[in-house]
Structure 1
Amino acid sequence: MVDTYVVKPVSIPNIIELPGRIEAVRVAEVRARVNGIVQRRLYREGTDVSKGQPLFRIDPSELQATRAQVKASLERAQATAANARAVVNRYKPLVAEQAISRQEYDAAVAASREASASVAQIKAELAAADLQLGYTNVRAPIRGRARRAEVTEGALVSAAEATLLTRIEQLNPVYVNLSQSSSEVMAVRRAVDEGLIEFDERQKTRVELSFEDGSIYPIEGFLDFFDFSVDENTGTVSLRAEFPNPGSNLLPGEFVRAKIYLGEIKNGIEIPQRAVQLSETGASVLIIDSEGKAAVRSVDLGPLDGDKWIIKSGLSVGDKVIISNLQKIRPGAAVKILTKEQRGRENKQPSSKSQR
């Protein structure tokens, strides 16, 4: 006696399985913007840092000396400008009395303007010196996870070479980069156009992740980017999903598998997972043929939908798939189907464990 599942057309999710790689949403390369010797590393490697947090301290002595020189030049220029303005103020009434020539007065005004311009120029140089001095405290440009330091205390860094100090990655959320062959993309589009797949473009396309060991990531993501061009080298189309990552369990560069739920197939076929037998040659099921005997039927499996396999081909509507006592049945043997009453009695029987 066996239990069976009668194949019938059902609405099933259109699941596309693709391999992918985790990528940080934002990556900032922290580089030196001044020349100098690294005095201290101010953060712990591999920890989260906030935007603006000091990461490295570069020896500021040389830049402090340069700033002091510019400051002295500014004070000298301000004194010269003040004296030039005083000369103009003295000359102004004398011009009206014709005590001095107009040419002398114009020369004094020109000298005053030149002195004021010199003050403005040196103020700009002082602001630049302050900016350079501020770069000796290397700060985080973004919030995220700071990786290991690329330099140690005592290392000479260069602004011209933009010496790399460390990298910061934002890990919540993260991206998953995927690629799908252009032929598969065209097949999905054709099925949508023909009405075989129902797809609402206004809704977010949800995505599930599984790790290399087969474990499932518990938080769903969604498809946030679909490239409309085909890579001429690989013949694939790029897709990208975004996933929340509050526990930082998804790491950049990690290999994952993604299930993309892209609409629903109207008249699909799926059967209980326990009905499918897997071997090195493929997947198969036992069905009851027209003579009431067990027969092996090879099937082309799609992805798992919960506790059921999606069947791409190999079964037709109305087929009776055997889902119990699979190890005891041999192909060609006559089988009987459990009635509802017999099935109910079997479900009510206590297990051998409870009887003990």
Structure 2
Amino acid sequence: MSEAVTPRPKRSRRGLIVLVLIVLVLLALAAVHLLTRKKPSRETPPIVVTVASAVTGSMPVTLSELGTVTPTATVTVLPQLSGYLTEVGYHEGEEVQKGQFLAQIDPRQYQISKQQAQAALAKDRASLAQARADLARYTQLNEHKSIAQQTFEDQQFLVLQDEAAVKADIANIAQFDLDLAYCRITAPVSGKVGLRLVDPGNYVTATSSTGIVVITTIKPTTVQFTVPQDALARIVQRLNTGAKLPVTAYSSDNTREIATGTLYAVSNQMATSTGTVTLRATFANDDEALFPNEFVNVRLLVDTMQNAVLVPTAAVQTGAPGDFVYLVNANNTVAVHKVTIGPGDGKHTVIASGLSAGDVVVTDGTDRLNDGAKIQAAQARPGTAAGSSKAPAAASGAASGAAAPGAAASS
């Protein structure tokens, strides 16, 4: 007896299809929900910066240049005649006064020559006296026509010759007196003597180029420096009004003030190769702080700007727009604001145009800012005009060019 084959029910297949459809619908709903869901908004926190207000005050307009200490006189004492050096009357490195004894050349040869000239003078004076006596007798004889006219005239000429010989002898004696004075060498100027160049016992000559000693005038002294041609007009204008322009000398590392003086001379020509002109300032140098030929940093106070708009130097930035600041808006955002800068003293900078007193600018944290960024002020530090005027004049900033724009802006 054969068994009948029972067919598989279709219900299980139909249920599986429904289950799959349900899963697909759920996945589609989940995908739609994820795609249409709004992302939570995240606000960018404000950038914490330091700000300061622009103020009005005074600002010195200075020029910072490299200068050289140049003595008012440097004299190499040379012998005026030849002879043996018998004595030196100075100590190396000491201060000497004008006319002070320095060295002695053996004078005996010139004393003998003077005695010979004096003897020749006595002889010629005797000859002159005899010629004059003869002329007196010849004059009387000539009046009575008792002597030839030629003889009378020859005697007149002889008197003139003897008078000339006497004058020559007197001049020779004066020359030997001068030689004897030259034997005693004295200081032509006041100053400090250097190291000894010739020792006693050496034979010196008038053609020697080495000299006996070098004297350098240290008190007072001068400092010579150059300024660019663009700054010359304002300097000359100030000098023509009778103003005394202060000059301060600093050490070569620009950290120590050495001396203060005044500008007193401007060269009469411009150096075409560099476009600069040479200036010279005088210093009392009573403490001998300035040494001849020493290199110093010089700061010339040309003028003082009054009622200028000042901001901290850290607020001024340089970039593609040129010189600019980050100006703080009323809604606590910043804007890139282009400005024209003037001179600075290292702590403050003059804003020639672009800002007004009371405007708030960012001084710290500028590296994280951009135009329109939102900020939060950490501390307001309003500038003071007194601080700017008392601040030292641009130690390294002025030397690198902060003074040059000031001269142009203030002119």
Q: Does 1:19 align with 2:66?
A: yes
CA shift, 1:268, in A, is: 4.0
**Does residue 1:55 correspond to 2:102, yes or no?**
yes
Q: 2:138 aligns with which of 85, 88, 91?
A: 91
Match of residue 310 from structure 1: 349
1:32-181 to structure 2, matched below 5 A, reads: 32-161=79-208, 163-181=210-228
Q: Which residue of 1 aligns with 2:267?
A: 227
Aligned to 1:208: 248
The Cα offsets for residues 51-100 of structure 1, whole Å up to 9 and x where unpaired, read as: 11111111112222222221221121112112212222333333334443
Tell me whether 1:237 sits opposite 2:284 in the alignment.
no
| 2:225/2:280 contact within 8 Å kept | yes
Deviations 1:284-333 (A, max 9, x none): xx9884465899x9x9995537xx4435799954454678xx89xx9887
1:263 aligned onto 2:303: yes
| Conservation of the 8 A alpha-carbon contact between 2:63 and 2:300 | yes
Count of residue pairs the alignment pairs up: 319
Question: Could you say if the C-alpha distance between residues 139 and 104 of structure 1 is closer, same or farther in structure 2, counting changes exceeding 3 Å?
Answer: same
Paired amino acid for 2:188: P
1:76 maps to amino acid: K
TM-score (norm 1): 0.74
For residues 312 and 167 of structure 1, the distance between their equivalents in structure 2, rounded to whole angstroms, comes to 52
The answer to whether the 8 A contact 2:197-2:212 is kept is: yes
Percent sequence identity over aligned pairs: 25
Structure 1 vs Structure 2 CA RMSD: 4.0
CA distance in 2, matches of 1:271, 1:41: 64
* Residues 33 and 162, structure 1, Cα contact 8 Å, conserved in 2: no
What's the counterpart of residue 288 of structure 2?
248
1:54–1:243 distance in 2 versus 1, CA, 3 Å: same
Quote how far apart the aligned CAs of 1:215 are. Answer: 0.9
**AA at the equivalent of 2:271:** D
TM norm structure 2: 0.65
**CA shift for structure 1 position 247:** 1.7
Q: Is the 8 A contact 1:206 1:222 kept in 2?
A: yes
Q: Secondary structure at the match of 2:155?
A: helix
Which has the higher Rg, Structure 1 or Structure 2?
2
Q: What runs of 5+ residues in structure 1 fail to find an aligned partner?
A: 193-197, 278-285, 341-356
Structural mapping, 1:266-305, within 5 Å: 266=306, 268-271=308-311, 289-290=328-329, 292=332, 304=345
Bigger helix share: 2
CA contact (8 A) 1:287 1:319 kept: no
Shift of 1:267: 5.9
Is the 1:39–1:59 contact (alpha carbons within 8 Å) kept by the matching residues of 2?
A: yes
**TM-fit CA distance, 1:9:** 3.8
Q: Distance in 2 between matches of 1:248 and 1:152?
A: 28
Distance 1:270 1:242, change over 3 A: farther
Gap runs ≥5 in structure 2: 1-47, 317-324, 383-411
Mapped to 1, the partners of 2:109 and 2:49 lie a distance apart of: 88
CA contact (8 A) 1:200 1:263 kept: no
Q: Give, in whole Å, the separation in 2 of the partners of 1:184 and 1:98.
A: 89
